[in-house]
Structure 1
Amino acid sequence: MSYNQAFQAYQQNSVATASPGELTLQLYNGCLKFIKLGREAMENKEIKAKNENLQKAQNIITEFMLTLNPDYEISGQLMPLYDYINYLLRQANINDDVAQLDEADQMVRELRDTWKEVIKLDRQNKYASGAQA
């Protein structure tokens, strides 16, 4: 098995065995990766690569918007944030605006970091509950 095949198998396994929270974290990380790649392409005047990567980032944000559960109060707070991030990504792509791209990156980074903390606290609570049982 070649290195690329092994890496692809690892990636597929990490997605297949991830909890919903871990999948969300992977999506945030993917979004940040595509923003970074889009920024690099923008700086190098690679229009096609910029557009492809920023659209991938937008697709992830759109997926977050579509999967928000309206039964939870936090959804009403997240929807405008996701909508604004999508707007920033779109405008950055259209206008080659690094400042808007950086703002979107910062917002996604903060959401990702918050999500990391949620996962960490959830794990701590599960282990604490398991130790008491």
Structure 2
Amino acid sequence: MENPQIKYQRQAIKNASPTELISKLYDFAIQACYQEDGERLNRVLETLIQSLNYDYEIAGELYGLYEYCQRLARQKEFDEVRELLEPIREAWEESVVKDKQETVNQGGRGFVV
């Protein structure tokens, strides 16, 4: 029988919007830092790199940051990676996810990430 927590997490991912998925990726990366799981952290960082939209100038900066975090993870500098990712996750959550939810709640069409 499948673990109920895993089943819940899978369902939450299936129902998440693209912007919410990015938040979840940050959560997974931060969790991997706490668990000192370098392999998982690098997989999540690679997924974040693949999700970048280069139509926006910040994508290049995030690419460099994610690559730097991957190097730190290989050196087992998990605390430093976490300290870099946590503020980005908070900013993403506040500026992108909440703004999208407010737009949808106001009857708008939102935006595509």
Short-chain TM bin: 0.7 to 0.9
The ranges of structure 1 where at least 4 consecutive aligned residues each deviate by more than 2 angstroms after the TM superposition are 4-9
Alpha-carbon distance in 1 for matches of 2:42, 2:52 = 16
Aligned length: 107
Gaps of 5+ in 1: 39-52, 93-99
Deviations 1:76-114 (A, max 9, x none): 12111111111111112xxxxxxx321111111111111
Q: Shift of residue 37 of structure 1?
A: 0.8
Q: Which runs of 5+ in 2 are unaligned?
A: 109-113
* Matched residue type, 2:83: Q
Give TM-score, length-normalised by structure 1: 0.72
1:113 aligns with 2:97: no
Distance 1:6 1:67 in 2: 29
Report the equivalent of 1:15: 13
Q: Give 1:22 deviation, angstroms.
A: 1.0
Matched-pair identity in %: 29
2:111 paired residue number: none
RMSD over aligned CA atoms reads: 1.7
Higher relative contact order (CA 8 A, sep 6+): 2
Greater fraction of residues in helix: 1
TM-score, normalised relative to structure 2: 0.84
